[in-house]
Amino acid sequence: MNTALEHSSAAARLSAEIEAYWDERSEAFSKVRLQELNGPDGRAWWETIAPRLPAGKKLRVLDIGTGAGFFAILLGKAGHEVTAIDQSGSMLRHARENVLACGTHATFRKMDAQKLLFPDNSFDLILSRNLTWTLPDALGAYREWLRVLKKGGLLLNFDSDCGRCSFEDTVDTDHARTQVDKAQVQRCNAIKEQLSISTCRRPYWDLAVMQELGCECSCEEDISGRVHLDPGIAYDNIPLFAICARKK
């Protein structure tokens, strides 16, 4: 087999492995996200995001790697026109149910965050949380995100430098609270070890990339104390950074 073919089948295998992992996590993940949405953390997230948005304007929003629909619901409730994508069909099923249960609306599509099927300059606001650490091609993803963002549009990315640590050391082992079992934590670590983004120091890498791609950026290196308030949710203890990038 030639090297290019080997490379592309290894990439397809890794992508399928990542999708299967999130499919399997989706039901328990959705329960925790609903608890987060309906408690103090949901309010704290809205208070973190809302001041950054242009006032009095209905925005075209893209939530990338929506999972169970956390940001889609927050932004939909605020009256914005939300499109949300995810690679996991099971996550999207939960997201659709959650949006209905919360009495709001969003359009969901199964799509790879690294290959967006939207025209250039489509969205006023792109949001993503806890996704970029699990992408095989985060640089390609950022290129795509900025392609579909309108000039002057805003990209808010919340993530952690997960490559620095082993989840076994950072995730609470109480399965009843975390809804993640030991085997899943080990699978997640094994995925993370195959990703080049795990070798990048973040958020510095992300900021350099976004500036290079033509954004004005600001960053808070750890907002976890502001948004992880619910003692009933077992968050990991890795700092959660917030990047706010405007496309020039």
Ligand X SMILES: C[S@@+](CC[C@H](N)C(=O)[O-])C[C@H]1O[C@@H](n2cnc3c(N)ncnc32)[C@H](O)[C@@H]1O
- Contact residues for ligand X, defined by CB under 6 A: 18, 22, 33, 65-67, 70, 85-88, 91, 112-114, 129-131, 134-135
Residue among 50 and 211 whose Cβ is closer to ligand X: 50
CB of 184 to ligand X, least distance (A): 12
d(CA 93, CA 137): 25
d(CA 167, CA 61): 31
CB of 248 to ligand X, least distance (A): 26
Please say whether the beta carbons of 182 and 216 come within 8 A: no
The closest alpha carbon to 202, from 163, 171, 245, 154, belongs to: 163
CB of 221 to ligand X, least distance (A): 18
Residue among 59 and 64 whose Cβ is closer to ligand X: 64
d(CA 127, CA 25): 21
How far CA 28 is from CA of 56, 90, 235, in Å, comes to 36, 11, 14
Residue among 55 and 114 whose Cβ is closer to ligand X: 114
Residue among 70 and 142 whose Cβ is closer to ligand X: 70
